[in-house]
Amino acid sequence: MDCKSLISSEFPVLSLEDSGDKALRLMNEYRVFHLPLIERDNYLALISEDDILDWNTPEAPLSIAEFLTFRPAVFEGSHPYEAVRIAKEFNLSVLPVVDKQHHFSGVITIEGLFNFLTDNNAIKSNGSILLFEMEQRNYSLSEIARICETNSISILSLAVKNIDELGMIWVTIKVNSTDIQALVSTFERFNYTISAMYSTDFTKEDVQQNYDMLMHYINL
């Protein structure tokens, strides 16, 4: 799967002749805070709601605006994780997609990224999540996997995140079992510090509730 496959069909774009007021109306209609500005198939800028609200003449065409310099984008062939990284970095509600010639291909919405992140076995499958805190020099994927395997448990996903500049990290694993008492005891015997544990019998409501946790711990 690449970013091209996540493009939202029939999503509106702005032209240089459109006014700031029209941009605000479209943003409100589609419940987003950004819209791309396009001339033919050329991506000119990503217009934000704040740009328009701070503009003294929102009734004027966008062609005379002075804020047409913000152009975040992701290539069609990039992995969706790159789209997640850019969207999070710039706090975007939509992310333009371009081809190798930098021509506009469409946009990915935050809803589309959310659906991608949650539509995998690691998220949908029941199990448990364990969060370890450790020094980076002590991190060993092979040892963590071996401990799980000796307890007849499989790892569904694993993420690593830096805590500080002193070499401390968080390691988060999702395993395929809710009965993890023996597994936890084994990790403790090997001097692992378990900071948190979660049971994951996910319902539709749980997915939305745990989205922030996923974005916090995903290793990009």
Tell me the pLDDT tens digit for each residue of 88-107.
999 999 999 999 999 999 99
Number of H helices and E strands in the chain, helices first, is: 9, 9
Do 161 and 154 form a contact (C-beta atoms < 8 A)? no
Q: What are phi and psi of 155, to 5 degrees?
A: -85, 125
- Maximum distance among all Cα pairs of the chain, rounded to whole angstroms: 68
Tell me the pLDDT tens digit for each residue of 23-71.
999 999 999 999 999 999 999 999 999 999 999 999 999 999 999 999 9
Q: What are phi and psi of 218, to 5 degrees?
A: -65, 140
Strand partners, 168: 135
Say yes or no to pLDDT of 84 above 70: yes
Say yes or no to pLDDT of 208 above 70: no
Q: What percent of the chain has pLDDT over 90?
A: 75
Please give the DSSP secondary-structure letter assigned to residue 108: E
Q: For 121-217, which CATH class?
A: alpha beta
| pLDDT confidence bin for 121, thresholds 50/70/90 | low
Q: Could you give the CA distance from residue 103 to residue 71 in angstroms, rounded to a whole number?
A: 12
Please give the DSSP secondary-structure letter assigned to residue 152: T
Tell me the pLDDT tens digit for each residue of 132-188.
999 999 999 999 999 999 999 999 989 899 988 788 999 999 999 999 999 999 999
| pLDDT (0 to 100) of residue 167 | 87
The Cβ of residue 144 has, within 10 Å, a number of other Cβ atoms equal to 19
Residues 6+ apart with CB under 8 A from 207: 118, 123
Q: For 3-117, which CATH class?
A: alpha beta
| pLDDT (0 to 100) of residue 216 | 55
Mean pLDDT of the chain: 89
Q: Could you give the CA distance from residue 60 to residue 91 in angstroms, rounded to a whole number?
A: 26
Assigned token pair, 60? 């004027």
| pLDDT confidence bin for 204, thresholds 50/70/90 | very low
How many residues are there in the chain?
220
Q: Where are the domains of the chain?
A: 3-117, 121-217
- b or e along 85-113 (b: 16 or more beta carbons within 10 Å of the residue's beta carbon)? ebbeeeebbbbbbbeeeeebbbbbbbebb
Residues 6+ apart with CB under 8 A from 153: 175, 176, 177, 180, 183
- Same fold yes or no, 3-117 and 121-217: no
Tell me the pLDDT tens digit for each residue of 132-147.
999 999 999 999 999 9
